[in-house]
Amino acid sequence: MKKTLKLAVFTDLDGTLLDHRTYSWDAAKPALDRLVRLRCSVVLASSKTAAEVLVLQERLALSGQPALVENGAGLIGLDGAQGTGTYAALRRTLDLLPAHLRAQFTGFGDMTAKDVSSLTGLSPEAAALAKARDYSEPGLWTGDGQELETFAKILAHHGVFAQRGGRFLTLSFGRTKADAMAEVTRTLKPDVTLALGDAPNDVAMLEQANFGVIVANPHHAPLPQLRGETEGRIIRTQEPGPLGWNVAVNAFLDTLFPDQGHMSHG
């Protein structure tokens, strides 16, 4: 009997598996169901908190799978998995910034659940889960590019890294999605890894995977050309969000498992 390839899929959420505005994954359901049927690992990788991801995993029928939370600063679903630094230490570091720079960053910790709700479109309950942070601080940056450079430089001096996502600037003590992905890969030992993402904070993950998919997100500037694209190792979707996700994952599965033809998925 032929050994089945072990595939691990690492996927960003907002703007990738989830629609940028509605957070729906309906369009991706056919390919997602196919991954579950093929017993592939589906590792959610986003800026969301453990509290938020646990709820999503249940709805996506992915409970018990490992997940990268808070942009990789935290890991759930792996034995002995831990995060880096603490949220309280991160908030204290913000207080060390000059007032004019500090004023340009409004973190979730500076907002009420209602603020987070109106900013993200999340329900008030979901916004409260988004505020339940352990390792990282997303927020809005209102200053210019040069101020951001100074802001990031001062934070880096204190061991804090600033990463731009599709919507927020997220601060953490370092471990990125790519670092956390390497940890999950060491544990799961898949034969093949596939990563999907839409924003600059997904780039290292996309480049580190065996195969990568840049999911189109018309809500922000397209990513610059990545190294793997010229080699054909990284591709771009035409359709945005879960629609593009579905097409790309189905095409990938058709290549990887040619004898497991897809069930009808339109």
Q: Is 12 in the site for Mg ion (CB under 5 A)?
A: yes
> Residue 192 Cβ, how far from Mg ion at the closest point, in Å?
23
Q: What is the DSSP letter of 3?
A: P
> Residue 10 Cβ, how far from Mg ion at the closest point, in Å?
13
Cβ contact 208:257 at 8 Å? no
Q: Which is nearer to Mg ion, 66 or 166 (CB)?
A: 166
d(CA 201, CA 247): 22
Structure tokens at 153: 């430089």
> Residue 116 Cβ, how far from Mg ion at the closest point, in Å?
17
Q: Which residue is nearest to Mg ion (CB)?
A: 15
Cβ contact 177:66 at 8 Å? no
Q: Footprint of Mg ion on residues 170-199 (CB under 5 A)?
A: 198-199
Q: Is 212 in the site for Mg ion (CB under 5 A)?
A: no
Q: Is 241 in the site for Mg ion (CB under 5 A)?
A: no
Q: Which is nearer to Mg ion, 93 or 201 (CB)?
A: 201
| Long-range CB contacts for residues 140-145, cutoff 8 Å, separation at least 24 | 140/105, 140/106, 140/168, 140/169, 141/104, 141/105, 141/169, 142/104, 142/105, 142/106, 143/101, 143/104, 143/105
Assign residue 107 a region: left if phi > 0, alpha if psi is -120 to 50, beta otherwise?
beta
Q: Which of 77, 83, 166, 242 binds Mg ion (CB under 5 A)?
A: 166
Q: Which of 10, 14, 162, 194 binds Mg ion (CB under 5 A)?
A: 14
> Residue 20 Cβ, how far from Mg ion at the closest point, in Å?
8
Q: Is 148 in the site for Mg ion (CB under 5 A)?
A: no
Number of residues interacting with Mg ion: please give it, by CB under 5 A. 6
Q: Using CB under 5 A as the criterion, what x/- string covers residues 46-85 for binding Mg ion? A: ----------------------------------------
Cβ contact 174:152 at 8 Å? no
> Residue 138 Cβ, how far from Mg ion at the closest point, in Å?
12
11, 54, 111, 112 from 51: Cα distances, Å: 18, 6, 18, 17
Q: What is the DSSP letter of 28?
A: G
- Map tokens 């890294």 to a residue: 161
Q: Which is nearer to Mg ion, 85 or 241 (CB)?
A: 241
> Residue 14 Cβ, how far from Mg ion at the closest point, in Å?
4
Provide the binding-site residues for Mg ion, judged by CB under 5 A: 12, 14-15, 166, 198-199
